[in-house]
Amino acid sequence: MGLLQPALLVIRRKSRSLFSQLDSALDNVVGNVAEGDGKVGGHRRQSFLVTLGEAREARGRLATAYVKGYVSLDEVVPGAEKLREVERILGRFV
C-alpha cells in the first residue's frame, strides 16, 4: 500500500507493536482477497468476510496512530480512504 509508506515508516519508529499490527492487517487484506478469489460458495464469502475485518482493523490502527500523535491526518487519510473503498467492494461479496 504505497499510499501509506511514509506513515508506516513513522509508525514503525514510534511504536513497533502498532506497526506490526497494522502491517499484518494490510498483508492479510491482500492475501485474503487473493485466497478468496480462488474459492467458491460459502468459503469464498468467508474469506471476503475475514478480509473485510482486516481492512477495518487496518483503518482502526491508522486512527490509533493519528490519535496518539504519531502521524498527521494528511499522512493517513489517503490510505484510509483506499481501505474504505476496499471495504465497499468487499461488502458486495459478503
Locate the domains of the chain by residue range: 2-91
Q: Which pTM was predicted?
A: 0.92
What are the angstrom distances between the C-alpha of 54 and each of 37, 49, 72?
16, 9, 22
pLDDT of residue 91: 92
Across residues 52-62, what is the average pLDDT?
A: 98
Phi, psi values for residue 19, rounded to 5°: -60, -45
Quick one: CATH architecture of 2-91? Up-down Bundle (1.20)
pLDDT of residue 93: 87
pLDDT of residue 1: 53
Identify the three-state secondary structure at position 68.
coil
Amino acid at 89: I
